[in-house]
Amino acid sequence: MGLIYYMRRLSKSVENVVNCSNNTLQSIHSAHRMNSIYPLRSLCSDVPYKNPIFKRKQVLGVSWNKFGHHQSRFQMGFHKSSHYLESTKFYVEPTISVETVVSSVNQVSGEAEIICRVLSNCSPDSNVAYSLDKLGVRVSPNLVEEVLRKLGNAGMLALAFFRWAEKEEGFKHTTLSFHHLIEALGKIKQFRLIWSLVESMKQKGLLRKDTFVLITRRYARAKKIREAIDAFEKMEMFGFKPELSDYNSLVDTVSKSRNVERAQVIFNDMKRRRKFSPDLKTYTILLEGWGNERNLTKLLELYQEMIGEGFTPDAVTYGIVINSFCKSGNCDEALNIFNEMQASGCKPTPHIFCSLINGLGSEKRLDEALKFFELSKSSGFAPELPTYNAIVGSYCWVSQFEDAFKVVEEMKKYEIGPNARTYDIILHHLIKSGKKEEAYWVFERMGKEGICEPQLSTYTMMVSMLCSEERVDLALKVWKEMSEKGVLPCMHMFSALINGLCFENRLEEACEYFKAMLRKGIRPPGKLFGNLKEALLYAGKKGLALELGLELDRLRRTPLNG
């Protein structure tokens, strides 16, 4: 039964990635890349098409030049508000020219991309040093920090690069480079190695409070709450005295790891033991946690407790509560709280307007969302990218993509975007609406026109979509483009591609990508290996299934050494 179901629609597991992406989008009014609406051109002349998808010559019936060569205005009275008036200008003569700074940043970014591209074709146990030495790049703290940041999803490669860099003559790691490595290793749960890095940081005088905050967060995200608390308490063993802000950080970390009940227990326990006295921020952190869990009962209980303790809600607190009701699909109650806030004399912030626009937009109450968009523009605040992203999303919820693209052009006009999240929003909704040709074409234009560089979330979304449409050929093309830019794939992306290859019975290729996943230290979900193993056994490739199983066991049992 399992195999039959798997062979029918293995690639459907890709939907998990889209759903995961959707949650992220809603939590940060996320967005992705998109141009305007331009005619769909032939996308890949070198790839044979198996079906009519991605061949249409028009996208939503609007030509490329309609929005591509001039700035469009809204048809709904959107206007430039008074906060665009030229403000007082101050001039401070720089000691280093802006051009020099920009050139230096661009050079570091370019060199980091080259290094990541080379590393993406290496395995951690191969001669990484030889490959890096051949590049002839001169290491610097900024370069090493940027490479390690980019290697955040490849802990084993990050460690190999870290060890290579520290052997270069005259080079010394910084606190930030250690932190980037700890972040990468934490994602693959190599905590024993992380603590050896802590000892090294102590010896070099690089240890900071932030180090323990980072380790605590990685434990919490790994669902190791007891270990997270222990890591926090070790701060004192290394000579750092925790303050109220640190306790707030601990509560926030545990809460945001989908463990708000444990965060509440920590809060109550530390309050009982008089470890600290909570302030308004502490309550606000917990309110946000219960809001993220959509537990409005607990949220209101805590809110009343806060009031009872003598705390007066500020704009941040109101914003958290309003956002919680909006995300829970209760915009009417959010509007009541908004009115209460105004009556108390508390001025709405851009975040509050953004939450209301997002919430109303998701309920397809476009007119009301537009009303708050206009209010936000007349409120005296400078235009903000998240607010514009929220109104883009509001149009997308009702499939008014042409209006969404006009907002994108308006963002360009005011030079506040778009960014990758803008396009992620549009791409997500295009895919959800079944407009997958348009989504792929928009993605293509992003890269070719240099509109906005795709991020990992964008690539993951596109690979997932293409595999679900049985267009693994195009998914591999996207994968190659991503690799050439030095962007390393994540677990979800590997899973989508491997499932897609299995569905097309390209089992040898699926195994190669599975091995590449293991070589980068990424632990696959059990279901992925189970599906691949079942397909291999069904195809009579028992030896290959056994080989992959042994490699997976080796990864699970062998700790990294640093």
- Please, where are the H alpha helices in 273-330? 280-292, 296-308, 315-327
| Cβ neighbours of 51 (radius 10 Å) | 9
Q: Indicate left, alpha or beta for 138 from its phi (over 0: left) and psi (-120 to 50: alpha).
A: beta
Please report the sign of the dihedral spanned by the C-alpha atoms of residue 367, residue 369, residue 370, residue 374: positive
Total count of residues recorded for the chain: 562
What the block records as the tokens of 542 is: 């028992």
Q: Give domain 492-561's CATH number out of 3.40.50, 1.25.40, 1.20.120, 1.10.12.
A: 1.25.40
CB 38 within 8 A of CB 68: yes
Task: Measure the CA–CA gap between 46 and 124, rounded to whole angstroms.
Answer: 33
Structure confidence by residue, pLDDT tens digits, 46-61:
333 344 445 443 444 3
Q: How high is the pLDDT of residue 446?
A: 84
Task: Provide the whole-model pTM.
Answer: 0.67
CB 521 within 8 A of CB 119: no
The predicted pLDDT at position 76 comes to 33
Instruction: Report the 10 Å Cβ neighbour count for 148.
Output: 26
Q: For residues 194 and 181, what is the distance between their CA atoms, to the nearest angstrom?
A: 9
Peptide bond preceding 454: is omega within 30 degrees of 0, i.e. cis? no
Residue 41: half-sphere exposure toward Cβ, Cα within 13 Å:
10
Query: Is residue 370 within 8 Å of 397, Cβ to Cβ?
Result: no
With helix as H, strand as E and coil as C, how does 328-377 read?
CCCHHHHHHHHHHHHHCCCCCCHHHHHHHHHHHHHCCCHHHHHHHHHHHH
pLDDT tens digits, residue range 443-475?
A: 988 877 677 889 999 999 999 999 999 999 999
Domain ranges of the chain: 106-207, 492-561
What's the pLDDT score for residue 10? 33
Q: What is the mean pLDDT of each run of 10 residues along the chain (562 residues)?
A: 33 39 38 33 34 44 35 32 32 42 66 87 74 87 94 89 92 96 93 95 95 94 92 92 90 91 88 81 94 93 93 94 94 94 93 96 96 92 92 97 94 89 95 94 82 90 94 94 88 94 93 90 86 92 91 75 49
Supply 504's token pair: 């097309």
